[in-house]
Amino acid sequence: MIDKLHAGRRTFIGALAAAAVALGAPGAGDAWAQDGRTQAREFRVGWQKGSNLAILKARGNLDKRLSAAGVKVTWIEFSAGPQMLEGLNVGSIDFACVGETPPVFAQAAGAALVYIASEPPAPDAEKILAPKNSSIKSVAELKGKRVVLNKGSNVHYLLLRALEREKLAYSDVTVVYLPPPDARVAFESGDVDAWVIWDPFAQAAISQIGARELLGGKGAGVENYNFYLSTTPFSKNHPEVLKWALEEIRVTGDWVTSHFDEAADILAPQIGLSKEITRDALRHYGYGVTYPLPPNVIANQQAIADAFHGLKLIPKKLDVRSVVWKP
């Protein structure tokens, strides 16, 4: 009889805890996290080839960590950040990692996203390139020229800042929107005069076809943060799963910084580049995670949102702070 009473009491307490997590009660997620329990049964992660999450996927430490808590990790591949955040918006994934600009466009479109964490800035990982034999030597000479980039990606903001630095308006150049593979074809064929692109694509163009760097992120004064995002419901209902994921991402980042060769071995076959090019690109990124987002990171993201709104590239003014996770 005593055993039955104890069992009933445990069941009742468990039900109360579950209800608290579902309602997002303060501290409820921490209680689950501390004893390794969760109500979540699946964690759907969006990833891109050549990314930090691709290394996390290949090493398997997140799958192992969440499997111990009864959670299946489902990996869903996307070609770029904007497409990944569309997946987040329609509810096909629970977690994503993208650059600075995609969340701005997604929030402007009404996506129910939440900024979970940020990586250290990586301004050296994005560049404005000119073809090898082009007469163009500086961003100032891009006036009246055709510039290709992936719309809504991190390099979209790089172009804005680079033009501003030369006292040029966005309308002073003709912007062509293409994803990286198509952009490289246009760049090589001479259909465009410059390519604004991130690593490893930038590093590949420099190494393989002699592309020249006109300006990098650091010279343009951009930070180039990567962000980890989730949906509003998942962040409220399963904060413990997000914290476990961030812990494993931190472990993976620490591993990469002391194993660039091994990390390049993982990514090079995915993206069809040599180990040397991939390793050089990896060295340009930041590793680690910070959450909640620091005030300076939020302010930087707000400045990006304001810049795009000022150019009417997004339809409304945004409040970035309102969609920042408060664990």
pLDDT tens by residue, 153-199: 889 999 999 999 999 999 999 999 998 999 999 999 999 999 999 99
Residue 46 φ then ψ, to 5°:
-85, 140
pLDDT score, position 34: 54
State the average pLDDT for the chain.
90
Alpha-carbon span 202 to 85, nearest angstrom: 23
Nearest CA among 50, 21, 138, 107 for reference residue 324: 107
The CATH number of the domain covering residues in 38-121+225-323: 3.40.190.10
Locate the domains of the chain by residue range: 38-121+225-323, 123-220
123-220 shares the fold of 38-121+225-323: yes
pLDDT category, 79, cuts 50, 70, 90? confident
Mean pLDDT across 135-151: 97
pLDDT score, position 35: 56
Q: Which fold has domain 123-220?
A: D-Maltodextrin-Binding Protein; domain 2 (3.40.190)
Q: Is the pLDDT of residue 301 over 90?
A: yes
Mean pLDDT across 28-44: 71
First-last CA distance in the chain: 41
